[in-house]
Chains A and B, each alone.
Chain A
Amino acid sequence: MMEYLQILGQEIYKIIFLLVPILVSVAMIVWLDRRVWGLVQKRRGPNVVGPFGLFQTLADALKYIFKEIIIPASANKVVFILAPIVTMTLALVAWAVIPMSEHLVLSDINVGILYLFAVSSLGVYGIIMGGWASNSKYPFLGAIRSAAQMVSYEVSIGIIIINVLLCVGSLNLNDIVIAQRELWYVIPLFPMFVIFFISALAETNRPPFDLPEAEAELVAGYQTEYSGMMYAMFWLGEYANILLMCAMGSVLFLGGWLPIVDIYPINLVPAPIWMILKILFLFFLFALIKAIVPRYRYDQLMRLGWKIFLPFSLVYLVLTASFLFYFDKLPKGNF
């Protein structure tokens, strides 16, 4: 029994060392997002609290903590409180399989990419639960929009993942990274990378697809009735999800923790730093797009998902499979 406790202690230690950096980087990333947004619009963005305004998010979080939590009288209280917890937990739980280097990964499971896909597809529950439990019109409309949107774009993300898996021959995230040692998949599968990126925008409800919280029509969508700490949890979960999507993109297409080129002075930089740089690069694109692209209309969003991305990624899947088969490049199983 003692050794179980010891293993448990070690695992908890590892989990804390994963969670704390993620929470801190979520705070930093919110700052980066607002800063980029401001610079694109020729504003300064948050620059008062701390050096370069770095502590702005901490100040905001403190403000949220000390605010009163208001639960609407007609809300379904249990589900209402559960919704932000579900969002936040699911956003953090997915990080267990993201490899920061070959050995720096919490659990190196065989079906890592499926786990990531499963957890990110569960993210919709937090939003639906929040929207329904608020028992008010705007949150409900926002929740319905978001559910339809996330379910639609998951389909094309799934097919894009299959594209990558065809080239790798394994569902393990570390194997996916190692298979890109010769060539990052962003080059042969560039159209898929673009579609993945746009679908990730839709999946995380980011502009230009932020219809669930379109402030011009729906006040704040599913989080209209939330206040104080519960709102902050929604918000943290949302940004943790965005970071997760960036990590997924860098593992699938940008070679994860691999250095840009495997030449002497460059490959001295430790693997986690490459991973972080790639995540930051993708997040920078996310932030830029938030600033420069106007919001889509809902029918345009659905049309893009079902009529363009889905057929295109299916055709590309057939092309990839045929190419690999014809040139005899199918991964000869390492099983």
Chain B
Amino acid sequence: MIVHSIFFYFFSIIAIFSSLMVITSRSTINSVFFLILDFISVGCLFIMVGAEFLGMILLIVYVGAVAVLFLFVVMMLNVAEQKQSWFIGRKSTHIPTGLIVSVLILLELLVVVGGWKYKEDVMSSSTLIISDISNTHQLGLVMYTDYILYFQLAGVVLLLSMIGAILLTFRERVGVKKQSYLKQVSRSPVTAVELVEVKSDQGVKIDD
């Protein structure tokens, strides 16, 4: 047990430290790196409590894909300049908004954790099957039977947001030459090469 707690405190100290560094570090790139460290240590904590599937999915989805995009955006935008005006500017709305959101999250956490701790019937019992089958199978058994509708609904919401994101960023560009692979492959010397009599001083118009 002592080794277990040593590892637990190790990962949780790293997680808390890095989440503090995310919001306090001066350079935005560094905060993204600390965010990644935070994700990884939380993933390790998940694995320590036996939720190995969740831990791995956290690593794959958040660290492997989402944080890469974060890093991308932060590298491409020059966020360091805007950062100054967020804190110094008089009409900053970011701090009140952030406060409201964080108070809401704190309230939600209090309700959930309090309910879980002191009122047994708040939680439905089917989520906590305790048996010797593996974590992944347990999740599958619950997700594809009792909660199949919510699961599908979540998929539909994600699909909708994906379509929305594509629509928002889509712009039709004019004057762009598109290559048709079928055309390129199916060309033969007979149709591709054209012999032209070039008159002197006039040249040929190649592009049409």
For A119-156 the 0/1 string (1 means CB < 8 A from B) is: 00110110011001000000010001001000100100
Known: A128-B71, A132-B75. A171 touches B136 (CB 8 A): yes
Question: Does B22 sit within 8 A of A, measured CB to CB?
Answer: no
Q: Which residue of A lies closest to B65 (CB)?
A: A151
| Nearest CB in chain B to that of A78: its residue | B30
CA distance A124 to B136 in the complex (A): 27
B72–A110 touching, CB < 8 Å:
no
Decide if A118 is an interface residue (CB 8 Å cutoff): yes
* Inter-subunit contact B133/A335 (CB<8 Å): yes
Cβ B137 vs Cβ A335 within 8 A: yes
Flag A68-95 by CB within 8 Å of B: 1 or 0 each.
Answer: 0000000010010000000000000000
The residue on A at minimum CB distance from B54 is A111
Bound form: Cα–Cα A151–B64 in Å:
8
Chain A proximity of B52: nearest CB distance (Å): 5
The answer to whether B134 and A110 touch across the interface, beta carbons within 8 angstroms, is yes
**Interface check B154, CB cutoff 8 A:** no
- Contact of B56 (CB < 8 Å), options: A4, A115, A140: A115
In whole angstroms, what is the CA distance A121 to B69 when docked?
13
Knowing A117-B60, A121-B64, A121-B65 are in contact, say whether A111-B137 is a contact too (CB < 8 A).
Answer: no
Is the pair B72, A147 in contact by a Cβ cutoff of 8 Å? yes
Per-residue contact bits, chain A 316-335, to B (CB 8 Å; 1 contact, 0 not): 00000000000000000101
B29, closest chain A residue (CB): A132
Tell me if A302 counts as interface (CB < 8 A to partner B): no
Contacts of A303 in B (CB 8 A): 181
B29, B59, B68, B181 pick with most chain A CB within 10 angstroms = B68
Q: Are A122 and B135 also in contact (CB < 8 A) when A111-B52, A111-B53, A147-B72 are? A: no
Instruction: Tell me whether A333 and B137 are in contact (CB under 8 A).
Output: yes
Query: How many B residues touch the partner, as a band?
Result: 20 to 34
* Complex alpha-carbon distance, A171 and B54, angstroms: 13
Indicate whether A109 reaches chain B with its CB closer than 8 angstroms: yes
Given contacts A111-B53, A132-B29, A335 and B134 within 8 Å (CB-CB) = yes
B49, CB-defined interface residue at 8 Å? no
What chain B residues lie within 8 Å of A124 (beta carbons)? 64, 68
Asked if B157 is at the interface (CB within 8 A of a chain A CB), the reply is no
Give the interface SS of chain A, mostly helix, strand, loop or mixed: helix
Please give the distance in Å from B59's CB to the nearest CB on chain A: 4
Cβ-neighbour of A151 out of B33, B53, B68 (below 8 A): B68
Q: Mark B28-60, 1 if CB is under 8 A from A, else 0.
A: 010001001000000000000000110011011
B64 and A118: CB pair below 8 A?
Answer: yes
Cβ B3 vs Cβ A154 within 8 A: no
Residue of chain A at shortest CB distance from B69: A151
B57 / chain A contacts, CB cutoff of 8 Å:
114
Cβ of A333 to closest chain B Cβ, rounded Å? 6
- In this complex, what residue of B is CB-closest to A172? B134
26 A/B residue pairs, CB under 8 Å, sorted by A: A1-B2, A110-B136, A111-B53, A111-B135, A115-B56, A118-B60, A118-B63, A121-B59, A121-B63, A121-B65, A122-B63, A122-B64, A124-B64, A125-B36, A128-B68, A128-B71, A128-B75, A129-B33, A132-B29, A144-B72, A144-B75, A151-B64, A151-B65, A171-B53, A333-B137, A335-B134
Q: Which residues of B contact A (CB under 8 A)?
A: 2-3, 29, 33, 36, 52-53, 56-57, 59-60, 63-65, 68-69, 71-72, 75, 133-137, 181
Q: Which 8 A-B pairs have the closest CB atoms?
A: A121-B64, A114-B56, A118-B59, A335-B133, A335-B137, A118-B60, A111-B52, A110-B134
